[in-house]
Structure 1
C-alpha cells in the first residue's frame, strides 16, 4: 500500500453523498463501512421531484441557469481530514448540489475523494467539473473513481 493511501486511511474521514435513486447511497454506505468513516447525506432544502421527467427538467434548469440549490442542513467538517464525496453523474457532469457543497462549507486543507455512480460513463466524464469546482477552494482533490459496485470500490480503496 502506498504511503499516500496509508495516510488517508489513518486520518479521520467522512463520506458525504447526494443520492436520488439510492445507488450513490449504497456506494456511500459501503465506502463508509470499508474506510471506517462517518457518513452523512446532502439534500437540497427544496426536494427534487420523485417524477423522473420533472427531475430531469429541474436538474437541467439548474445546470442551464447555474442554480446552486441550498443544502438542507449545516454540516461541520472541522474534525475531518478526508471527505469522500459521492454523487450520481447527471448530464455528463456533477449535479449542481455539488457546487452548493463547495460554496457552503469551509473545506480548506481537506482532501476530497470524489466518487460517482453512473452506468453509462466513466468517472472521467464528470472529472473536469469536480476539478473546476474544487480548483479555487484550497483543497487537495484526490483522483476519483466510479463506484457502481463493491468490486470497483474495493479496487480503488486497495490502491
Structure 2
C-alpha cells in the first residue's frame, strides 16, 4: 500500500513539474533579466494571462498524465517509467502552452484593434507590443531548434524517416 502511494506521488510530481517546466523557465528568465517582461500593465492583463493560474493548470495536466501512467503500469517506481511520466507531462504542458500563447496573442490583438478604433492609442500600443514580444520569444526558440538540428547534420532535405533509423 505504501509502495503504491509513494509511486503514485512520484509519478504525479514528475508529470506535474515536467508539464510546468516551460512556464517555470519562462518566469525564471524574466526574473533573471534574460527575457523581457510583459508589456501589459498588471491592471490591464487578460484573466487568462496569469502565471499562477497557468502554472496550476499545467501542473494538474502533468499530474493527471503521471497518475494515469502509474495506474496503467501497475504503479512502478523505477526510473524508466518516471521518465515516461515526465516526457508525457512535458509534451502535454508544451501543447497547452502553445494553445494558450495563440489564444492570448489573438485576444491581445483584438483588444489592440478595439483600442485603436476607440482612440485609446497608448493601450493599443501596449497590447500590440505584448504580441510582438511573444512572437519574438517564439521566433528565438524556433531559431535555436533549427540551429541545433543543423549542427547535428540535419537539413531540410533529410527525410523524416532517417531521424528514426540508427
TM-score for the superposition, normalised by structure 2: 0.28
If each structure's strand is expressed as a fraction of its own residues, which one has the higher value? 1
| Higher RCO, Cα 8 Å, sep 6+ | 2
If each structure's helix is expressed as a fraction of its own residues, which one has the higher value? 2
